[in-house]
Structure 1
Amino acid sequence: MDKANQTIQITIDADSGIPIWLQLRNRLVYLISSGGFAPGDKLPTVRELAVSLGINYNTVSKVYQDIERDGYIASFRGRGTFVSDAYLKNEGSAENEADSLIDDFIRQCRELGIPRQEISALVERRLKLTE
């Protein structure tokens, strides 16, 4: 598959209520874990992706750093950013995936300035709504 076309597969909905960085992160992780990008594939540069999506350079940089920490990509100075298969060591573990979602949620709540006790109350309230 032409890698230039894969950038087109990434769309951002500024009106969705989901932070732009999280939309981008989720889409990249999906493309990598579903085989849209294979290990060793070169990803667009941070600047290229920011320009093509019309979003801030720092947002893309933050996402790349985040998914690199999780083992989805590896960056090499002067060579670029490539899909990694390091994330596969945790693949298939629903607990790890759930932990990752929870960690993202907690991080986002803290970025919004929500105290720990209120985060727990939010979760409890939402759980009651789904019963």
Structure 2
Amino acid sequence: MQYDSKTPIYMQVIDSIKLDIINERIRTGEKLPSSRDLAVQYTINPNTAARVYQELEREGVCYTKRGMGTFVTDDESKIKECRHEMAQGCLNEFLKSISELGISREEAIEMIKTTK
């Protein structure tokens, strides 16, 4: 994974995992890799990997079963909420960039409609 220097690494890993969950590359109820394996997979510090899981758990995207590991939530509404939040973030970035180009929302909508 290529990391963007503008965003903390742990946030980029969180977004990557959320995207995998939303796109069902990781299914609800599925066991996630151990923190150590996650660190290897993303070439990050093990403490960063632990922070990723702590944050995902705080957000309700996953939960930990003591002695068994970390699992993706079974709550479909939480996953839909996560999808909506990520989409909203993309839209906000898009609108900010469009605005910086001097393009109105109406113009942007028209451009989207005519783009194939």
For the aligned pair, the TM-score class normalised by the smaller chain equals 0.5 to 0.7
Residue of structure 2 in register with 1:88 after alignment: 77
CA root-mean-square deviation? 2.8
1:32-61, CA deviations, whole angstroms, 9 ceiling, x for partnerless residues? 111111111111000111123221111111
Rate the CA distance shift 1:93–1:22 in 2: closer, same or farther, 3 A: closer
Rate the CA distance shift 1:50–1:74 in 2: closer, same or farther, 3 A: same
Residue of structure 1 in register with 2:61 after alignment: 72
1:4-59, CA deviations, whole angstroms, 9 ceiling, x for partnerless residues? xxxxxxx2x24x32321121011000011111111111110001111232211111
Bigger relative contact order (CA 8 A; separation at least 6): 2
Aligned-pair identity in percent equals: 33
The reply to whether residue 23 of structure 1 matches residue 12 of structure 2 is: yes
Give the length in aligned residue pairs.
94
Residue of structure 1 in register with 2:100 after alignment: 129
Rate the CA distance shift 1:126–1:91 in 2: closer, same or farther, 3 A: same
Residue of structure 1 in register with 2:108 after alignment: none
TM-score computed with the length of structure 1 as normaliser: 0.58
Rate the CA distance shift 1:92–1:31 in 2: closer, same or farther, 3 A: same
Q: How far does residue 68 in structure 1 lie from its aligned partner after superposition? A: 1.1
TM-score computed with the length of structure 2 as normaliser: 0.65
Tell me which amino acid in the other structure corresponds to 1:58. Answer: N
Rate the CA distance shift 1:81–1:90 in 2: closer, same or farther, 3 A: closer
Unmatched tracts of structure 1, length 5 or more:
1-10, 102-124
Give the whole-Å Cα distance in 1 for the aligned partners of 2:17 and 2:82. 19
The reply to whether residue 97 of structure 1 matches residue 85 of structure 2 is: yes
Residue of structure 2 in register with 1:58 after alignment: 47
Unmatched tracts of structure 2, length 5 or more:
90-95, 103-116
Give the whole-Å Cα distance in 1 for the aligned partners of 2:17 and 2:36. 16
Tell me which amino acid in the other structure corresponds to 2:85. Answer: E
